[in-house]
Amino acid sequence: MATELALRKAQTSDSELLFAWANDPVVRQNSFRQAAISWEEHQQWLAGKLDTPDCKFFILLIRETPAGTLRFDRSDANQWTIGIALATHYRGKGLAGPFIVLGCQALASEFPGAQVVAYIKQRNSASLKGFEAAGFVRLADCSVSDEPCFFLQRYV
């Protein structure tokens, strides 16, 4: 299966698909902002993400079929915060870890030695499992938007 996994850069033409994934109930539940996202908000947000060098935004592919998103946002000179969301029918299949590894390899090709950090809600055991499978180390408990989280890190 690993040879069937790939990444491609997100594009403006992905807007509708990204909007649908962003408003998926499970994605909203596991996000730090749980309110539904309006189309206008999404369009403005996406334009900002696609137009900045401080964001590396990928569509996850399985046999060339879109399966989710992976995004790195630069939070300081050589530190990037990662986020991943899988489409409903690809969840629970052990794909997060391999996709996270692919994304980290892509980031490393441009920013070798970068520190990648993740904030995972403590109740999101599936996400924690995927990040740990991808070589992330849990460093601390923390809170984001009053939500108990784990802080994880990996160098690429």
Using one digit for the tens of pLDDT, what is the confidence trace for 6-30? 999 999 999 999 999 999 999 998 8
Q: Which residue has the tokens 């984001």?
A: 144
41-87 pLDDT per residue, tens: 999 999 999 999 999 999 999 999 999 999 999 999 899 999 999 99
Determine whether 117 is exposed, middle or buried from the number of CB atoms within 10 Å of its CB (0-12, 13-18, 19+): middle
- Is residue 23 classed exposed, middle or buried when 0-12, 13-18 and 19+ CB atoms within 10 A define those classes? middle
Instruction: Say what the pTM is.
Output: 0.93
Please tell me the distance from the alpha carbon of residue 9 to that of residue 138, in angstroms, as a whole number.
28
Query: Other CB atoms closer than 10 Å to residue 11's CB: what's the count?
Result: 12
